[in-house]
Chains A and B, each alone.
Chain A
Amino acid sequence: DTGVSQNPRHKITKRGQNVTFRCDPISEHNRLYWYRQTLGQGPEFLTYFQNEAQLEKSRLLSDRFSAERPKGSFSTLEIQRTEQGDSAMYLCAPETGPNTEAFFGQGTRLTVV
């Protein structure tokens, strides 16, 4: 049990389709982070929320990506018109600051074919 539930665990989609992932922290956290991990690389920051507000977006987050955290609890990450380069593991973390446990969900593995 990682304290964070991510769904789906795996998603295979055709190029050009839209996909949506969900992250549900088990307990309340002010912040929530999304990271992306491509094969053979370390995770890279995508975006984060402070409550409902999306405060920072990485350059990796193109216009095809949108993230929400409508009630300050769970979050969704949508990718429109998927491309093969979007194939990666998408990770969610409730808190990643210096004084936190900085734990991650199991991730959603996206494969675009």
Chain B
Amino acid sequence: GNSVTQMEGPVTLSEEAFLTINCTYTATGYPSLFWYVQYPGEGLQLLLKATKADDKGSNKGFEATYRKETTSFHLEKGSVQVSDSAVYFCASVSQGGSEKLVFGKGTKLTVNP
């Protein structure tokens, strides 16, 4: 079945620093890939997604590119803000069957002023 391996946290950065959170996946076929964000005390929000190889998902200054050759979907942001402090989850889903999401364990990001 599918699996997702995500960079272990926590990650602590200063404001305006560059962010990378690594995510790799294993799957049969070509899954769709997602990044979710969970702010303190809140539910899961879809941040961005990509459905095929070389697609780039982007939202709120975050980007991730679907790399088939390295089976990766790393999350990046050029300049983080304090308000980006949250837990970030990488997830995959394959078409057909149950189409259930498989999540990584999450990476907690803290951005200090």
Contacts and interface: CB of A to CB of B under 8 A. Distances in A.
B44 A98 contact: no
For the side of the interface on B, what is the size category? 20 to 34
B95 A2 contact: no
A63 interface: no
Q: Which of B31, B42, B46 is the most central at the interface, judged by chain A CB atoms within 10 Å of its CB?
A: B46
Contacts of B4: 42
Interface residues of A, number: 26
Given A41-B106, A98-B93, A48 B100 contact: yes
Contacts of A106: 42-43
A112 B44 CA distance: 22
B51 A44 contact: no
Contacts of A2: 43
B73 interface: no
Interface in B29-48: 31-32, 34, 42-46
A98 B32 contact: yes
Interface of B: 4, 6, 31-32, 34, 42-46, 49, 51, 89, 91, 93-95, 98-106
Given A97-B93, A98-B94, 4 more contacts: A31-B99, A55-B98, A56-B100, A99-B32
